[in-house]
């Protein structure tokens, strides 16, 4: 592993930890400040708008800039914003409006960091080792974010939001200091990963990015599959799991906390498995993995229907085991797909392609959550889980065909 890659991964440990702390306690603080769920919901809707609307612009702009510099500047600004929050809270002044501006800026900057580090990753890592090190990156990202929610809620309960903001600021500062140690990137990027990117207008560059997606079947397939997963499956945490475990089986909220733990354990196990690979790609297995993942989810829904709200302990044991399997398979899907993008898309197009995918996700995920919530209210979360994953399997077969083949075939 190169020195630059070690630095990037270590920097992400601190930034991911801070990024996972802040969103957990912010809703609690906003609810306390406003005293209204309606105002709280409106607050977060408005906060997410800048990220939603500006990411396509950022995707075009970032391609001509140093990814290391963009990431480092974003980390420094995040540190200053979180530090400003802590200071204003310490002196007793922080209006809901000002907090909204800070939170919106932090949300946008965190998305910028995620985008720039994906491109930076493809510049640092040789193409044949992308899957291996993306797996390792997934392990460290999830380990860093694993304890953040519990730690942040404890700090918030005992010391308040100002201390959480201060710790978040320190985490971003350390991440920036670590990343600054990265040396000048070697100029050994293969010519087929570069692209002549003239100084065109934003509109023409964006249209060119859309044309690239349209003309490259593999990338187009990825967009279709990612959109399907975001719409039909990304609602698991918000709708399906609470609908099955809490609403139907009356599992306590404390016990419910084991669900994300099992999912994360599966993610870490899969990341370690991929990290042990010397080189190569698992894309040829993606169709089978997509179908296997949805099959496990359908099994979870079927078991809920069979147990019919009885034998909570036995059902919970099955549910947690299957949740671990889902976390394991999910990373076996996500890492090869991300690696495919990083290897197949020229670096000069990656900003646009990744940001457009983020833009699509920003629409498909909330739409999927709303649709699944409405359907679950009518027929139950378990039946919704069955129907959604059956739709995913149909879409996967329609996109990749009956025979097993690579995503770019």
SS (H, E, C) 37-79: HHHHHHHHHHHHHHHHHHHHHHHHHHCCCCHHHHHHHHHHHHH
Q: What is the sign of the dihedral through the CA atoms of 288, 294, 297 and 301?
A: negative
Structure tokens at 42: 């409106």
What is the maximum span of the chain, computed from C-alpha positions, in angstroms?
A: 64
Write down all domains in the chain, each with its CATH number in brackets: 3-184 (1.20.1250.20), 204-400 (1.20.1250.20)
pLDDT digits (tens, 9 = 90+) for 216-245: 877 788 778 888 888 888 777 767 888 888
pLDDT at 98 over 80: yes
- State residue 295's pLDDT score: 95
Nearest Cα to Cα of residue 338 among 175, 115, 145: 115
Phi, psi (deg, nearest 5) at residue 194? -100, 165
- State residue 205's pLDDT score: 72
- State residue 355's pLDDT score: 79
CB 271 within 8 A of CB 348: no
Rounded Cα distance, 22 and 138, in Å: 20
Nearest Cα to Cα of residue 107 among 63, 147, 51: 51
Q: What is the mean pLDDT of residues 360-366?
A: 78
Phi, psi (deg, nearest 5) at residue 257? -65, -20
pLDDT at 44 over 60: yes
Q: Whole-model pTM above 0.85?
A: no
Rounded Cα distance, 46 and 87, in Å: 24
Residue in this structure with the two tokens 């016990």, named with its chain if needed: 255
CB 19 within 8 A of CB 110: yes
Share of the chain above pLDDT 90, in %: 18
- State residue 328's pLDDT score: 92
- State residue 199's pLDDT score: 52
Q: Name the region of 401 (left: φ>0; alpha: ψ -120 to 50; beta: rest).
A: left
**For the chain, what is the mean pLDDT?**
81
pLDDT digits (tens, 9 = 90+) for 270-282: 888 887 765 556 6
Structure tokens at 134: 């993306």
- State residue 367's pLDDT score: 81
Q: What is the mean pLDDT of residues 46-74?
A: 82
Residue bearing the bigger pLDDT, 78 or 38? 78
- State residue 188's pLDDT score: 43
Nearest Cα to Cα of residue 110 among 138, 71, 57: 71
Q: Name the region of 290 (left: φ>0; alpha: ψ -120 to 50; beta: rest).
A: alpha
CB neighbour list of residue 112: distance below 8 Å, 6 or more residues apart: 58, 62, 70, 74
Q: Collapse the DSSP code of 145 into the 3-class scheme (helix H, G, I; strand E, B; otherwise coil) and give the result.
A: helix
Q: What is the mean pLDDT of residues 103-129?
A: 84
CB 341 within 8 A of CB 208: no
pLDDT digits (tens, 9 = 90+) for 323-344: 999 999 988 888 888 887 777 7
Q: What is the mean pLDDT of residues 168-180?
A: 93
Q: In angstroms, how far is CA 37 from the centroid of its own chain? A: 25
Rounded Cα distance, 298 and 320, in Å: 14
CA angle 147, 152, 157 (to 5 degrees): 135
Residue bearing the bigger pLDDT, 28 or 116? 116
Q: What is the mean pLDDT of residues 192-220?
A: 67
């Amino acid at each position: 592993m190169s020195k630059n890659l070690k630095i990037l991964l270590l920097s992400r440990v601190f930034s991911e930890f801070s990024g996972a702390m802040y969103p957990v306690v912010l809703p609690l603080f906003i609810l306390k400040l406003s005293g209204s769920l309606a105002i709280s919901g409106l607050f977060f809707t408005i906060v997410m708008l800048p990220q939603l609307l500006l990411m396509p612009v950022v995707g075009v702009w970032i391609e001509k800039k140093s990814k290391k510099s963009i990431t480092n500047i974003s980390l420094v600004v995040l540190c200053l914003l979180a530090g400003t929050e802590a200071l204003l809270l310490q002196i007793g002044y922080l209006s809901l409006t000002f907090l909204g501006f800070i939170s919106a800026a932090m949300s946008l900057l965190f998305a910028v960091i995620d985008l720039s580090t994906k491109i930076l990753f493809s510049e640092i890592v040789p193409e044949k080792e992308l899957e291996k090190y993306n797996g390792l990156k997934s392990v460290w990202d999830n380990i860093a974010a694993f304890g953040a929610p519990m730690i942040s809620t404890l700090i918030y309960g005992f010391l308040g939001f100002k201390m959480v903001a201060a710790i978040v600021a320190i985490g971003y500062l350390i991440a920036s200091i670590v990343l600054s140690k990265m040396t000048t990137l070697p100029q050994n990027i293969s010519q087929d990963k570069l692209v002549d990117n003239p100084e065109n207008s934003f509109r023409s560059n964006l249209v060119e990015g859309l044309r690239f997606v349209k003309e490259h079947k593999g990338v187009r397939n990825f967009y279709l599959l990612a959109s399907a997963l975001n719409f039909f499956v990304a609602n698991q945490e918000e709708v399906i799991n609470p609908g099955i475990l809490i609403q139907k089986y009356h599992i306590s909220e404390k016990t419910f906390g084991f669900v994300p733990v099992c999912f994360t354990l599966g993610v870490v196990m899969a990341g370690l498995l991929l990290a042990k690979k010397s080189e190569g790609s698992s894309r040829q297995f993606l169709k089978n993995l997509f179908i296997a993942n949805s099959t496990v989810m359908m099994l979870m829904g079927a078991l809920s229907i069979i147990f019919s709200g009885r034998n909570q302990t036995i059902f919970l044991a099955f549910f947690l085991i299957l949740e671990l399997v889902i976390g394991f398979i999910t990373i076996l899907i996500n890492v090869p797909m991300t690696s495919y993008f990083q290897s197949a898309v020229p670096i000069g197009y990656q900003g646009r392609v990744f940001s457009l995918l983020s833009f699509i996700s920003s629409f498909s995920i909330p739409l999927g959550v709303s649709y699944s919530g409405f359907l679950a209210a009518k027929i139950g979360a378990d039946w919704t889980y069955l129907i959604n994953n059956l739709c995913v399997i149909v879409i996967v077969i329609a996109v990749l065909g009956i025979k097993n083949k690579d995503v770019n075939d």
